[in-house]
Homo-oligomer: A and B are copies of this chain.
Amino acid sequence: MSTVKKDYVRPLDIKNGRVDMGHGAGGRAASQLIEELFLSAFDNEFLRQGNDGAVFAPPPLPAGARLVMATDGHVVSPLFFPGGDVGCLSVHGTVNDVAMSGAQPLYLSASFILEEGFPLSDLKRIVESMAAAAREAGVPIITGDTKVVERGKGDGVFISTTGLGVVAPGVDISGSNARAGDVILLSGTIGDHGVAVLSQRESLEFETSIESDTAALHTLVAAMLQAAPGGVRVLRDPTRGGLATTLNEIARQSCVGMVLEEHAIPVLGQVDAACELLGLDPLYIANEGKLISVCSPQAAAAVLAAMHAHPLGQAAVQIGVVTEDPHHFVQMNTRFGGRRVVDWLSGEQLPRIC
């Protein structure tokens, strides 16, 4: 992003203006869009370098520390939904992907693909939401890029973010670390994000007061790791595909089985009702501010206590245990006393949910 101040005849008309192809062409219009809209919102010393990349001092890296890089594209539809928008989602999503390695996120980059004709006022709202989320998380957006595609070749705004973080020495979190006898924790209710987004879809608009749970989980992760050093083995945020798919991924990666307790899995009444109405299963619905953790049985109580003490983990619960199972099945003891297999999401239950 070029950052040097220029003298423009007219500032951007944010109120009535729209994205045009010139905003992506790399000339004056592009430069003006970046300065007046992106730089003023994201304002930081790295972007102000005005070069093709952002140069920064390496973070403190004690012996045994590692780095982590994660990326996520955000194509949620609609762009604005109860509790958030594509802007804050694009920050939270990637901060969380970095945090799920047990890392402290440091910096983000952002790549925007804008559709010609998109209102600048909506773009400003999204960018300001991103900036606020980045500030709140303490993870600045230090470099970026903007492209524009013709009307009908995009869908308003797509945002791909990439995050860099540091994993402290001794922290070893991976989807492949679960062992039979471990405990499965969930940080709160499931399905809120997916239902909040669905409630705004034109084809199925319905009344609900459910808001997306979109949030940055890295401080929750830090509290959990501190509470039980070495005790947290797996962290994963159950986004696309929901809790069921994420647990199946972990079971497969770790070559274990899982047994869940249906009654223990928290679902808000309104989410349950909406799922009933739409014929959906909350186990497969995306979350954007929840995490699953697999912990050693010795560590579970301390980790759960740390979660309860954090604003984003107050409703944390144990939802099941890890078992030996050559088939790597995720099974669930139902409310009615039966047991069933909880399979992967196999279709396309909810497109463009994040």
Contact = CB atoms under 8 A, between A and B. Distances in A.
Contacts of A149: 75, 77, 155, 158, 352
Given A58-B65, A107-B69, A153-B155, A53 B241 contact: no
Interface in A138-184: 142-150, 152-155, 158, 160, 162-165, 167, 174-176
A111 B153 contact: no
Given A26-B241, A113-B113, A152-B152, A69 B54 contact: yes
Interface stretch (A17-25, A222-230, A258-266, A332-340): A17-25
B25 A240 contact: yes
Nearest to A105: B53
Contacts of A349: 25, 27
21 contacts: A2-B249, A4-B176, A24-B75, A30-B240, A49-B174, A50-B176, A52-B101, A53-B100, A53-B103, A55-B103, A69-B107, A69-B162, A69-B164, A71-B110, A71-B111, A71-B144, A72-B111, A73-B160, A75-B147, A77-B149, A149-B155
Given A22-B348, A149-B155, A351-B148, A69 B53 contact: yes
Contact of A237 (B52, B58, B153, B155): B52
A167 B75 contact: no
Given A113-B75, A348-B20, A100 B52 contact: yes
A347 interface: yes
A181 to B, nearest CB: 21
A149 B71 CA distance: 18
Contacts of A97: 52-53
- Most-contacted residue by chain B among A2, A20, A52, A249 (CB, 10 A): A52
Given A57-B66, A73-B146, 11 more contacts: A21-B351, A25-B241, A25-B349, A55-B101, A58-B66, A71-B144, A72-B145, A77-B153, A145-B160, A147-B352, A154-B155
A165 to B, nearest CB: 8
A329 to B, nearest CB: 13
Contacts of A347: 22, 25, 27, 29
B111 A162 contact: yes
Contacts of A67: 55-58
Contacts of A167: 55
A96 B51 CA distance: 12
A72 B113 CA distance: 10
